[in-house]
Amino acid sequence: MYRNTNAEVGSKKKVVRIRIVSGNQIFSTRFFHLMLQSFTISNLPEAVQSFIQQIGTHNTIAFHGPMGAGKTTYITALCKSLGVAETTGSPTYSIINQYKTAAGKIIYHMDWYRLNDEDEAIAAGVEEALYSGHLCFIEWPEKAEGLLPPDTLHVIIEAIDADTRKIVI
């Protein structure tokens, strides 16, 4: 589903072009400032802390990955690490979940899997969340990619095996 168009990826940070494809159809081409990170459930809190340091000033973070890759699990760990005490979960049916950190900051977690197009996303209130200035984590951003702010940080999550995941930033 995700093809790295560069022949080699080293351990150093570099920019790579990744095409998001399904079959023979290219959905989008993204340029990533490459950071590779592998993790398991046992070291997820440490992986998330490292990721938080990479976010920088990005308020919108789009998580790409196939079903079962671990997007919701990773976002749940991010929310916990950022100080969300309430129960978090996938907003597959609600489209948008709003959480509040202990410091009073708002985090939006969106799952666009069930959206058919950008009009449905707008009707669900996605734009209001995206341009609120609050941190937004989005699963299945491909469903309404045209609504994403230009400075969106794109992240790919892939399963390496049953227990290990890899993220590419």
What per-residue confidence (pLDDT) applies to 34?
61
pLDDT at 24 over 90: no
What per-residue confidence (pLDDT) applies to 8?
35
Could you tell me the pLDDT band of residue 37, with boundaries at 50, 70 and 90? Answer: confident
What per-residue confidence (pLDDT) applies to 67?
93
| Least confident span in 9-18, 75-84, 88-97, 140-149 | 9-18
Pick the CATH number of 2-168 from 3.20.20.480, 3.40.50.12780, 3.40.50.300, 3.40.630.30: 3.40.50.300
51, 17, 24, 18: which is closest to 35 by C-alpha?
51
**Residue-wise pLDDT tens digits, 98-114:** 999 999 999 999 999 99
What per-residue confidence (pLDDT) applies to 11?
36
Reading the block at residue 79, the tokens are 């929310």
Strand partners, 73: none
Could you tell me the pLDDT band of residue 9, with boundaries at 50, 70 and 90? Answer: very low
**Residue-wise pLDDT tens digits, 58-84:** 999 999 999 999 999 999 999 999 999
Could you tell me the pLDDT band of residue 2, with boundaries at 50, 70 and 90? Answer: very low
Q: ∠ at Cα 133 (125, 149), nearest 5°?
A: 70
Please give the model's pTM, rounded to 2 decimal places.
0.80
pLDDT at 17 over 70: no
pLDDT at 3 over 90: no
Strand partners, 72: none
Cα separation, 33 vs 13, in Å, equals 7
Share of the chain above pLDDT 70, in %: 79
CA 101 to chain centre: 19
Share of the chain above pLDDT 90, in %: 69
pLDDT at 33 over 90: no
